[in-house]
Amino acid sequence: MRDTCVEDTLDGSAVSAEPAGLVTGKECKAQFIWPVHPAVVIRKFNGPARKWEPGHRGVDIAAVEGTPLTAPASGFISFVGLVAGKSVVSIRHGRFTLTFEPAQTELPIGTPLVKGAPFATVAGVSDHCTGVCVHWGVKDAKRNYTDPEHKVRKEKIVLKPLDP
């Protein structure tokens, strides 16, 4: 049996690092950090069975208007504006797009960001978060949404022997 940490890479993929704490002394790290500190999830991810079906494609984090947002991962601003009347800011991180609603920024599209840097504030219009939260979504290049809470947890892969 061997424990292995999953480490973040610049292109947004996860790679297996050295065995946890054995060779490098590294501790496992989460791929992303929370965009709001402290993070209090008030509505969890509830992805649909099929892309076109209804669901909650992200998490709602308690935040009042004016709360600063920090980049969960290094990347760049890929969208700023309205989507279906909602104020949205998006960050591109490798194969992932991170969306925030309601959010507004003065930074132009293409602005590079490092993990933990402030990039926007909770502000503008939302269909369900105005004044009480920010909705954080994470989708891959195929537009499949994933639970952001899975990206902020420390991941450890444990290989176990198969029973014959």
Render pLDDT for 32-80 as a digit per residue (tens, 0 to 9).
999 999 999 999 998 888 888 887 899 999 999 999 999 999 999 999 9
Nearest to 140 by CA among 49, 51, 43: 51
Give 41-147's CATH code, choosing from 3.30.2320.50, 3.30.70.1560, 2.70.70.10, 1.10.10.10: 2.70.70.10
- Which segments of the chain belong to CATH 2.70.70.10? 41-147
Render pLDDT for 102-138 as a digit per residue (tens, 0 to 9).
999 999 999 999 999 999 999 999 999 888 999 999 9
- In this predicted structure, what is the pLDDT of residue 36? 97
Inter-residue contact 48 to 37 (CB < 8 Å): no
Render pLDDT for 150-163 as a digit per residue (tens, 0 to 9).
999 876 666 777 77
- For 118, other C-beta atoms within 10 Å of its C-beta total 13
